[in-house]
Copies of this chain bind each other. A is one copy, B any other.
């Protein structure tokens, strides 16, 4: 049925929205609903899973980086609202899985799909998949955890992930961050691989700003300027506001809708508000 093809992201967005609303409204009943969704969601994340691609062999099992990213996204918000060792453990689980399973410093890549034990599966198209936007989105969450925990090693690794993803994923011919590549530049399975999407650019702006704020490194500031220029010259709609979502590789628009089944209000306000807070409240404000 239709409901079976809906993605776990819907539940991720629902869980954090309920949690934030419970806090804003001071409503314990809503918090209970948020927790119920947390209980439903967490067991679905981190289990070996086949992907939605037409894979070879068709029933290969992968551990998905996307699951770690979902867990970190949800557990961070819940832990911010009501700190609890349980949420903190889910953050630790996410950090460990990303670093030990998916981040391959020798390849300069955070692999999107690996074997359940973290072994690369580079002989399969899914195993070669590099998703720069996902990698960078996880990286800034790792930076926030590193900042909270005072974990300098984690911070440095998160910066490395960000820079490796930009080095690999930036389109040197047309500008902008590629949506999906294979780590070895073999052909991807995704028809839309070469498009430029709004959300990886937004997530990258915040990752670079946070990384620069925490390290002061010039190379991060330079990347920020470059991504900023591409992003703000291509995505915002000067006439009606909001951002266009999907550009062809050459930067022309695939279409002009501000929302669809995937583009909702999740990424953009989140990262712009975080950027805004960062400009106003941290060491960056002094420079």
- Chain B: CB-nearest residue to A188: B255
B-facing residues in A27-69 (Cβ within 8 Å): 50, 52-55, 58-59
B-binding segment of A74-82, A226-234, A244-252, A266-274: A244-252
Interface of A is mostly: loop
| B188 and A54 contacting across the interface, CB-CB below 8 Å | no
- Chain B: CB-nearest residue to A125: B260
How often does this chain occur in the complex, in copies? 2
| B262 and A194 contacting across the interface, CB-CB below 8 Å | no
Complex CA–CA separation, A186 to B54 (angstroms): 30
Give the interface centre of A191, A250, A252 by most chain B CB atoms within 10 Å.
Answer: A191
Complex CA–CA separation, A194 to B192 (angstroms): 10
Chain B residues with CB under 8 Å of A52's CB are 5
Contact pattern, A 160-193, Cβ under 8 Å of B = 1, otherwise 0: 0000000000000000000000000011110111
| A54 and B187 contacting across the interface, CB-CB below 8 Å | no
Q: Tell me the smallest distance from the CB of A174 to a CB of chain B, in Å.
A: 9
B-facing residues in A94-141 (Cβ within 8 Å): 125
| A255 and B50 contacting across the interface, CB-CB below 8 Å | no
B-facing residues in A1-35 (Cβ within 8 Å): 2-6
Residue of B6, B50, B54, B250 near A249 (CB, 8 A) is B250
| A195 and B187 contacting across the interface, CB-CB below 8 Å | no
| A193 and B255 contacting across the interface, CB-CB below 8 Å | yes
Complex CA–CA separation, A29 to B189 (angstroms): 36
Chain B residues with CB under 8 Å of A53's CB are 261
- Nearest 4 Cβ contacts at the A-B interface: A54-B261, A187-B255, A187-B257, A191-B192
Excluding A191-B192, A248-B248, 20 further A-B contacts by CB distance (< 8 Å) are A2-B55, A2-B58, A2-B59, A5-B52, A53-B261, A54-B260, A54-B262, A55-B261, A187-B257, A187-B260, A188-B255, A189-B260, A191-B195, A192-B192, A193-B255, A194-B248, A248-B250, A249-B250, A249-B252, A250-B252
